[in-house]
Amino acid sequence: MALLISMPVVLGFLLLVLVGAYIIRKRTSSSHINQADAINTTNEDEDPILLDEDVDLPSFGLEIIANATDNFSSTNKIGEGGFGTVYKGVLTTGQEIAVKRLSKDSGQGLTEFKNEVILISKLQHRNLVRLLGCCIHREDRMLIYEYMPNRSLDLYIFNQTRSTAVDWQKRFDIIVGIARGLLYLHRDSRLRIIHRDLKASNILLDSEMNPKISDFGLARIFGGDQTQVNTKRVVGTYGYMSPEYAIDGHFSMKSDVFSFGVVVLEIVSGMKNRGFDHPDHDLNLLGHAWKLWNEGRPMELADALLENVPASEVLRCIQVGLLCVQKRPEERPLMSSVLYMLDSDNASLPQPKQPGFYVERVHKETDSSSSLNISYTSTDLTVTTLHGR
Ligand X SMILES: Nc1ncnc2c1ncn2[C@@H]1O[C@H](COP(=O)(O)OP(=O)(O)OP(=O)(O)O)[C@@H](O)[C@H]1O
Residues that bind ligand X in the complex, under the rule CB under 6 A: 78-79, 81-83, 86, 98, 100, 129, 145, 147-148, 151-152, 197, 201-202, 204, 214-215, 382
Total Cβ atoms within 10 A of residue 311 = 10
- Residue stretches of the annotated binding site for ATP: 100
Binding residues: 100
- Give the nearer residue to ligand X in terms of CB position, either 86 or 301: 86
Least distance (Å) between residue 28 CB and ligand X:
35
To the nearest whole angstrom, how small is the minimum distance from the Cβ of residue 20 to ligand X?
Answer: 46
The nearest distance, CB 150 to ligand X, in angstroms, is 8
Cβ proximity to ligand X: between 220 and 288 the closer is 220
Catalytic residue among 45, 197, 225, 303: 197
* C-beta atoms surrounding 135 within 10 Å: 20
Q: Which residue is nearest to ligand X (CB)?
A: 81
Q: Specify the residue, 204 or 315, whose C-beta has the smaller distance to ligand X.
A: 204
Sign of CA dihedral 308, 301, 203, 41: negative
**Nearer to ligand X by C-beta: 337 or 382?**
382
380 is catalytic: no
To ligand X, the closest distance from the beta carbon of 215 in angstroms equals 5
CB nearer to ligand X: pick between 81 and 239: 81
Query: How many Å apart are CA 262 and CA 260, to the nearest integer?
Result: 5
Least spacing, CB of residue 42 vs ligand X, in Å: 25
**What residues act catalytically?**
197
